[in-house]
Structure 1
């Protein structure tokens, strides 16, 4: 990837991240409020699992098409359409609930519609960033974006808790509509050129879709990253959805207790994001991914064994700190290794992995949590995450990647070395 700085990249990047920040804030407020609403109204892990399925499964299914569209159309226009559609779905749910329609299935349907919009938006956003940012600034900018998201994750639960606790869930929906429209307005000021490969594209939609999967499968380093990413999200991401349920079961169902839980997690994410964009900006991406994967397992295990509420909050803080140490270097490595004209397709598979791992994991973990308890689930998945990460660094791709990292090889050289060594072995 070229290191030539695109003209006006700082302005475009600032506007783009600013618009996405505004839009993301409203979406996060709604996500927390709806999750808490379902948790407190049902006190059931199965109901929380249904929410996870509705909120993430459509996104996973649609994102495979969303990323491919992102390689075939102007990415800015695709984000605008997705954001506007999501705002309309949220407005519809708000109107229904104001008129007394509060059935769980109605809320789940609205969450599913919002998830469809995210399926188009998320891979497109990740594909736009390397269009705007020079290659040598990617990890720093990804770290900054992760820090912004962490800051929102700190602010959003506080706002959600205040609105939900004082006025109920409906005001959070109206906030999301306003922020989505503001985000679209800012995005209109950003210059995102249509890729030359789009203008001259002769392949069909199906061919593009298959090519993205083929690219991932035939590149050993990317394949290794994707598999580790998928397993870690299943084993540590899905059970995190039931931690509010453990709070409600053992320490009380007050909204403020859930708010503190999310604040502890979000402060950890914020500090981790700051570390990635400053102190760790020049560190090995591969090492950060592996170390944070071990951290996920250790802290998930600790959550299952935490004897006191304050210990539980402290471990959620540490768990949150691992998020940017994993996601920022992961996204940067993918952006650096994939040609710009294929990034939408590849990031669609990243979004699929992330989106499907949550609901599919919860389909399995929800009944386990109800039958064996949330603590047993957290302990079991934590142990499995540690074992899987250990295996990941022992397989040929992992050994090669870790050796390259130890020798200080850059991302491109690491990817080339892994390919060569795996093929030779």
Structure 2
């Protein structure tokens, strides 16, 4: 049963948000500022990663060191995220968002200037990577926590779709143009440009109006607050099932995705160039899926069926793609997989935002991020090992087939269906817990 505190939070939020739904539209000032800032910073991130890779290889000649730097960025995020979630729910979320962007911007600009002047060193890039990871641990859950407070809940699915579409599109454009920009400007200038993209995003966020988290009871100490968030996630069966599903999908997907490049490299008629085209088509499919959700409003009672169908068909397309060994068929299947995968992930994220009370969102999203991110490198390692033993095609087919089985099993969970189909305009959390 739901506690009195959670019931009070839900009642308060429902009253306020139903009022907002009558007077606010999706593209309000707050959402536009956030969307615009992230559009620029995601483009900066994309060209930064390319510049970073080329610079490290030029300075050290070591691809292993490049992987180490990427891991250094990921590890702090995994370790810190659960504790960051507690701070997000206890502190001013706008301040956290601003500091995350400004610190990242300043760190990358300083490294870029140092490299430009010939004083740059690998340890500086590593230190910046650690700072980026720490800031990301706070920034991501903060954005997920804030989104339901700056757009009407009836438009939350469209908001997430529009937000993810802009970031994915910016990343795609940055990745495609990064090589040409590197040839013209070089790594130091690209570093500095990415730093300014964060500062621009932070400047836009200065004008955000982020509601304060409403605590219906006196704040517990840090430890008790952390345990409360963990307990809420575990005892809420529908939410717990969603977190488990997200982890399983992410793990098995990483097992298969890490082997797509070796598959293209080892299959007659396929090569690195066709791999780049296929991955571009997959990303295009994701953007189209997000575009679809950004303009089409799905009735709450239909969301679960669309969720399950999208998951099964998208994973089925990933199973079929390597079997065909035909680049045209592979591209069509990857486009379908990307489109439906975007729908699956957006519904998953939006559902979590809808069912988690305001004062729990930071903790819950941080917990989800920790679980999925921690499983990613494990999935890559497992995929690499199995690929060497069984072959890339076999492991790709097996990993995505396993995901289909799990999604099909998920489809029979009544608690999952109630949660995915949750309609905040006509239901309370007590109805689905």
Q: Is TM-score (shorter-chain normalized) higher than 0.5? A: yes
Displacement of 1:51: 6.6
Is 1:410–2:423 an aligned residue pair?
yes
**Matches of 2:239 and 2:385 in 1, distance apart?**
33
CA displacement, residues 54-73 of structure 1 (integer Å, 9 cap, x when unaligned): 44333222221222111111
**Matches of 2:397 and 2:163 in 1, distance apart?**
31
Paired residues for 1:385-396 under 5 Å: 385-394=403-412
Displacement of 1:270: 1.2
CA displacement, residues 285-343 of structure 1 (integer Å, 9 cap, x when unaligned): 32333223213421221233241333333333222212321122112211211111111
Is 1:366–2:384 an aligned residue pair?
yes
Q: Give yes or no for contact 2:355–2:419 (8 Å, CA) kept in 1.
A: no
Displacement of 1:139: 1.7
Q: From the superposition, tell whether residues 242 and 74 of structure 1 become closer, same or farther in structure 2 (CA, over 3 Å).
A: farther
Find the partner of 2:288 among 255, 271, 276.
271
Q: Which residue does 1:351 correspond to in 2?
A: 369
Q: Which residue does 2:41 correspond to in 1?
A: 23
Is 1:57–2:63 an aligned residue pair?
no
**Matches of 1:380 and 1:42 in 2, distance apart?**
35
Bigger mean CA deviation after superposition, 263-272 or 243-252? 243-252
Bigger mean CA deviation after superposition, 21-30 or 380-389? 21-30
Q: Which residue does 2:246 correspond to in 1?
A: 229
Displacement of 1:108: 6.3
**Matches of 1:185 and 1:335 in 2, distance apart?**
26
Q: From the superposition, tell whether residues 93 and 42 of structure 1 become closer, same or farther in structure 2 (CA, over 3 Å).
A: same
**Matches of 1:297 and 1:37 in 2, distance apart?**
36
**Matches of 2:427 and 2:57 in 1, distance apart?**
47
Q: From the superposition, tell whether residues 121 and 238 of structure 1 become closer, same or farther in structure 2 (CA, over 3 Å).
A: farther
* 3-state SS, counterpart of residue 410 of structure 1: coil
Q: From the superposition, tell whether residues 403 and 330 of structure 1 become closer, same or farther in structure 2 (CA, over 3 Å).
A: closer
**Matches of 1:140 and 1:228 in 2, distance apart?**
22
* 3-state SS, counterpart of residue 20 of structure 2: coil
Q: From the superposition, tell whether residues 168 and 298 of structure 1 become closer, same or farther in structure 2 (CA, over 3 Å).
A: farther
**Matches of 2:418 and 2:167 in 1, distance apart?**
32
Query: Gapped runs of 5+ residues in structure 2?
Result: 1-12
Q: Which residue does 1:219 correspond to in 2?
A: 236
Q: From the superposition, tell whether residues 414 and 360 of structure 1 become closer, same or farther in structure 2 (CA, over 3 Å).
A: farther
Q: From the superposition, tell whether residues 241 and 125 of structure 1 become closer, same or farther in structure 2 (CA, over 3 Å).
A: farther
Q: Which residue does 1:377 correspond to in 2?
A: 395
Q: Give yes or no for contact 2:149–2:210 (8 Å, CA) kept in 1.
A: yes
Alpha-carbon RMSD across the aligned residues, in angstroms, is 3.6
Q: Give yes or no for contact 1:55–1:111 (8 Å, CA) kept in 2.
A: yes
Bigger mean CA deviation after superposition, 229-238 or 290-299? 290-299
Q: Give yes or no for contact 2:158–2:297 (8 Å, CA) kept in 1.
A: no
Q: Which residue does 1:123 correspond to in 2?
A: 141
Q: Give yes or no for contact 2:80–2:137 (8 Å, CA) kept in 1.
A: yes
TM-score in terms of structure 2 length: 0.81
Q: Which residue does 2:327 correspond to in 1?
A: 309
Q: How many residues align?
A: 409
**Matches of 1:249 and 1:239 in 2, distance apart?**
15
Larger Rg: 2
Q: Give yes or no for contact 1:48–1:242 (8 Å, CA) kept in 2.
A: no
Bigger mean CA deviation after superposition, 381-390 or 145-154? 145-154
Q: Which residue does 1:135 correspond to in 2?
A: 153
Q: From the superposition, tell whether residues 32 and 372 of structure 1 become closer, same or farther in structure 2 (CA, over 3 Å).
A: farther
Q: Give yes or no for contact 2:45–2:194 (8 Å, CA) kept in 1.
A: yes
**Matches of 2:111 and 2:390 in 1, distance apart?**
35
Displacement of 1:183: 0.4
Displacement of 1:100: 9.1
* 3-state SS, counterpart of residue 220 of structure 2: coil
**Matches of 2:409 and 2:37 in 1, distance apart?**
40
Paired residues for 1:180-329 under 5 Å: 180-197=198-215, 201-237=218-254, 239-247=256-264, 251-253=270-272, 259-282=276-299, 284-329=302-347
TM-score in terms of structure 1 length: 0.82
CA displacement, residues 124-181 of structure 1 (integer Å, 9 cap, x when unaligned): 0010111112222212212222222332243232222432466665554333212111
Bigger mean CA deviation after superposition, 167-176 or 150-159? 167-176
Find the partner of 2:359 among 316, 336, 341.
341
Displacement of 1:381: 0.8
**Matches of 2:321 and 2:188 in 1, distance apart?**
32
Q: Which residue does 1:4 correspond to in 2?
A: 19
Bigger mean CA deviation after superposition, 243-252 or 7-16? 243-252
* 3-state SS, counterpart of residue 5 of structure 1: helix
Q: From the superposition, tell whether residues 62 and 249 of structure 1 become closer, same or farther in structure 2 (CA, over 3 Å).
A: farther
Displacement of 1:418: 5.2
Q: Give yes or no for contact 1:294–1:386 (8 Å, CA) kept in 2.
A: yes
* 3-state SS, counterpart of residue 203 of structure 1: coil
